[in-house]
Amino acid sequence: MVLERYRTSQTHLLTNVLMGMLLCAGLMFVSCGGGDDDEPLPELPSGATASDKLRAEKDKYLKYDTLSPLPKDLRKSFKGLSYYPFSETYVVLANYEPAETPEEVKLIASGGELHNMVRVGKFTFSLGEGENVYTLYGYKDAGSKSSSILIPFKDKTTGNETYAAGRYVEVEDTGDNEIQIDFNTAYSPYCAYNSNFSCLLVPPQNVLTVAIKAGEKTFAAHQGAHK
């Protein structure tokens, strides 16, 4: 079982997507599509947003790339991931309180492994009717110098409309007291597509009592093996 570090999920996946685009453009002999019997991915509509285009490239990566986490038997029939429509409601400006002394913690992965992480700070934000206030904690890999902060979370959609083990959203540590969290970019870990991957589970402190109807939905063809 492969332990998936969060930074090999969205960030590296998007890097691989961009590299694949460059290879396809520059090397005419490289096959960047599927076989003749593959079901094609849907065409992007006119007026597609940058977010739509990025999601389409992610779909191409999952369907065609040799490094795709998608099991080979699912790739031919794969027609793309499902997402909620973009909503400004789920783009929130959170108060960020960095930890005075970042705390080293061990987060359990879906395969039972313990992964060394650092809890770097707390995000507090308002959302929904009555402007209820919610809190999430951010993490980095132990020893990481990256400015990217991982926020694993569950919400009221988890296990129904979204992956049962939760989703991830990443933000950049800008050094400011307020940081934008765009839940429209929330994504499922690799174990949502392939149970041979092991991914970090959501800590109890990051379970929200509100539905985050934004970002990636459940991958119906493979429900994952972990809750």
For residue 136, which phi and psi values (nearest 5 degrees)?
-135, 150
Q: Are residues 92 and 201 in the same domain?
A: yes
Query: For the residues 25-46, what does the mean pLDDT come to?
Result: 51
- Match 């569950």 to its residue by tokens: 154
Domain that holds residue 122: 88-206
pLDDT in tens, 101-142: 999 999 999 999 999 999 999 999 999 766 799 999 999 999
Q: Are residues 123 and 190 in the same domain?
A: yes
Domain contains 104: yes
- pLDDT for 168 beyond 60: yes
Domain contains 83: no
Q: Are residues 66 and 37 in the same domain?
A: yes
**Position 223 confidence tier, pLDDT thresholds 50, 70, 90:** low
Mean pLDDT over the full length of the chain? 83
- pLDDT for 45 beyond 90: no
The pLDDT value given to residue 120 = 97
Q: Are residues 159 and 70 in the same domain?
A: no
Q: Are residues 64 and 120 in the same domain?
A: no
Angle formed by the axes of helices 50-64 and 10-26, to 10°?
A: 80
pLDDT in tens, 71-89: 999 999 999 999 999 999 9
The domain tally of the chain equals 2
Q: Are residues 59 and 136 in the same domain?
A: no
Domain contains 174: yes
The pLDDT value given to residue 29 = 30
Query: For the residues 48-77, what does the mean pLDDT come to?
Result: 89
Q: Are residues 144 and 179 in the same domain?
A: yes
Domain contains 216: no
Q: Are residues 201 and 138 in the same domain?
A: yes
CB environment 182-219: b (16+ within 10 A), e (fewer): bbbbbbbbbbbbbbebbbbbbbeebebeeebbbbbbbb
- pLDDT for 10 beyond 60: no
Q: Are residues 44 and 97 in the same domain?
A: no
Q: Are residues 183 and 119 in the same domain?
A: yes
| Spatial CA neighbour of 214 closest among 94, 56, 88, 125 | 88
Record the pTM.
Answer: 0.80
- pLDDT for 7 beyond 50: no
Domain contains 15: yes
Q: Are residues 70 and 96 in the same domain?
A: no
**Position 170 confidence tier, pLDDT thresholds 50, 70, 90:** very high
Domain contains 126: yes
